Structure 1
Amino acid sequence: MKIIDLHCDALLRLEEAKGSLNFANAPELHTNKERLKQGNMLVQCFAIFIYPEIKSDQKFQVALEQINYFYQEVLGKNPEMKHIKEWSDFGRLQDGEIGAMLTLEGVDAIGNDLTKLHTLYQLGVRSVGLTWNNGNLAADGAGEPRGGGLTLFGKEIVQCNNEHKILTDVSHLSEKAFWDVIELAKYPIASHSNSKTICDHPRNLSDDQALAMFKSGGRIHLVYCPPFVKEDGFATITDLLKHIDHFCSLGGVKQIGLGSDFDGIETFITGLEDASKSQNLINELLKHYSEDEVRGFAYQNFLDYHVFRS
């Protein structure tokens, strides 16, 4: 079954390697082209991520370097990888092709300059998370003790996302910032988050948050990072299914997707060690859900999102 994966950190790995990794088959990459094909990936989203400790005046350049690797290494050397620039591009993918979409994990790179955000839109970014775990000029992240909400600048970013039909990603936000986004965003999404009820981790979503996402029409994409799956950090596919079961019990069966976080995690769910193993999850899901429901989790729920129709 085809899969749309809303989050990986391959661009960070390519940028750190400074050209020494071949996206086609580098064993160091969980989401290299060979593994994406083996996992039957329909679309892989590639996050732009900038470490908070990088100097502020260097962050936008690092973002551009990661985008350059996306264009040169992911797309340029692999004609089967097709750039998803517009929502209509999803429907144009042919057999044997894999869509590739840019996302932004934290707006640190733009400082307080919306022109830089518009530049990233023009380069293909179609989903924007306001922060990583830190606080920045837009919002506080899940790891920021202050726990603040969106700043005025953060609210401007959400409005820009709305105007350009860009997804606003809540996965790393503080709880207060999450609620600010829910109030403002036309296209909210959690690119890689699980249920806090099943695993009490600051990066996961409470039932109230999940219900708000479902009420808004948003999507929650399950993450494969073991500490977000099970509190002892040793997780199986069955443990991940508990999160899907719980979100379904809240009425989200049509609003659940997948967001692996491959190339951004160092430990793995047993049987989900890289993108090539993705069908292990599909096979396990098919034991518990109908084929239509599993197809929804794998890709169709995302393709049914109202961003594609509005």
Structure 2
Amino acid sequence: MEVIDLHCDALLKLWEGKGTRRFADAPELDTNKERLKQGQVKVQCFAIFIEPEIKQEQKFQVVLEQVDYFYQEVLGKNPDMKHIRKWTDFYKLKPGEIGAMLTLEGVDAIGNDLSKLRILYQLGIKSVGLTWNTANLAADGAGEPRGGGLTLFGKEIVHLNNQHQVFTDVSHLSEKGFWDVMELARYPIASHSNSKVLCNHPRNLTDEQAIAMFKNGGTIHVVYHPPFIKEDGEATIADLVNHIDHFCSLGGAKQIGLGSDFDGINHFVRNLENASQTQNLINELLKHYKEEEVRGFAYQNFLNHLPVCK
């Protein structure tokens, strides 16, 4: 069964490799092309993430370097990787082709300059998360003790996302920031988050947040990172399915998707250690749900909530 994965950090690993890693088959990449094909991942979203220790004046340059790896290494050397530049491109993928979509994980790199964000839209960014775990000029992240919401600048970004039919990603936001986004965003999404009821981690969503996402037409994409799945002990695929079960119980059966966080994690669910094993999750889901429902989780729910569908 084909899958759309809303989050990976392969671009960070390519950038760290400084030209030594081939997207086609580098073993360091959980989401290299070979593994995506083995796991039947039809579309992979590629996050641009800048490590916090990078100096502020260098961050936008690093963003551009990661974008360059996307164009040169992911797309340029692999004709079967197709850039998702417009929402309608999802429906133009041919058999054997894999869609590739750019996303931005935290707006730290743009400073207070919206022209830089507009440039990134032109380069193909289709989803913008305001923060990683720390605070920036737009909002507080989930790891910031202050727990503040969106700044005026952050609200401008959400409005700009709306104008450009770009998702606003809540996955790393503080809870107050989340509620600010709910008031403003036409296209909210959680690209890689689980249920806080099942695993009390700051990065997960409360039931109230999940219900708000569903009421506002957003989708929640469950993440494969063990610390977000289970508070102690080894996490299994069945444990991950529990999060899908819980979101379904809140009315989200048609608004749940997948967001692996591969290449951004170094602990793994057993038998779900890279993209090649994605069908292990699909097969487990088929034990609990009808095939149509599993197709929803795998790809259709996301497609039904694209900005062009609203």
Show the counterpart of 2:16.
16
Once the two structures are superposed, the pairs formed by residues 164-243 of structure 1 within 5 Å of their partners are: 164-232=164-232, 234-243=234-243
Instruction: Measure the CA separation in 1 of the matches of 2:23 and 2:91.
Output: 25
Query: What do residues 206-237 of structure 1 show as CA deviations (whole Å, max 9, x unaligned)?
Result: 00000000000100000000000000152000
Q: CA deviation at 1:306?
A: 4.7
Contact kept, 8 Å, 2:255 with 2:302, in 1: the verdict is yes
Matched, 1:69 2:61: no
**Alignment root-mean-square deviation, CA:** 0.6
Contact kept, 8 Å, 1:6 with 1:44, in 2: the verdict is yes
Amino acid at match of 1:37: K
Runs of 4 or more above 2 Å deviation? none
Instruction: Measure the CA separation in 2 of the matches of 1:121 and 1:279.
Output: 32
Show the counterpart of 1:115.
115
Once the two structures are superposed, the pairs formed by residues 58-137 of structure 1 within 5 Å of their partners are: 58-137=58-137
Look up the SS of the partner of 2:20 in the other structure.
coil
Instruction: Measure the CA separation in 1 of the matches of 2:234 and 2:130.
Output: 30
Instruction: Measure the CA separation in 2 of the matches of 1:15 and 1:280.
Output: 29
Contact kept, 8 Å, 1:103 with 1:126, in 2: the verdict is yes
Q: CA deviation at 1:309?
A: 2.0
Instruction: Measure the CA separation in 1 of the matches of 2:207 and 2:62.
Output: 36
Look up the SS of the partner of 2:189 in the other structure.
strand
Instruction: Measure the CA separation in 1 of the matches of 2:182 and 2:54.
Output: 30
Look up the SS of the partner of 1:51 in the other structure.
coil
Instruction: Measure the CA separation in 2 of the matches of 1:96 and 1:306.
Output: 23
Instruction: Measure the CA separation in 1 of the matches of 2:74 and 2:46.
Output: 10
The farther-off stretch of 113-122 and 228-237 is 228-237
TM-score, length basis structure 1: 0.99
Contact kept, 8 Å, 1:236 with 1:269, in 2: the verdict is yes
Identity %: 75
Q: CA deviation at 1:51?
A: 1.1
Show the counterpart of 1:35.
35
Amino acid at match of 1:222: V
Contact kept, 8 Å, 1:227 with 1:234, in 2: the verdict is no
Q: CA deviation at 1:166?
A: 0.2
Amino acid at match of 2:50: I
Show the counterpart of 2:4.
4
TM-score, length basis structure 2: 0.99
Look up the SS of the partner of 1:119 in the other structure.
helix
Number of residue pairs matched by the alignment: 310
Query: What do residues 171-220 of structure 1 show as CA deviations (whole Å, max 9, x unaligned)?
Result: 00000000000110000000000000010000000000000000001000
Contact kept, 8 Å, 2:87 with 2:306, in 1: the verdict is no
Instruction: Measure the CA separation in 2 of the matches of 1:111 and 1:90.
Output: 31
Instruction: Measure the CA separation in 2 of the matches of 1:126 and 1:234.
Output: 34
Show the counterpart of 1:278.
278
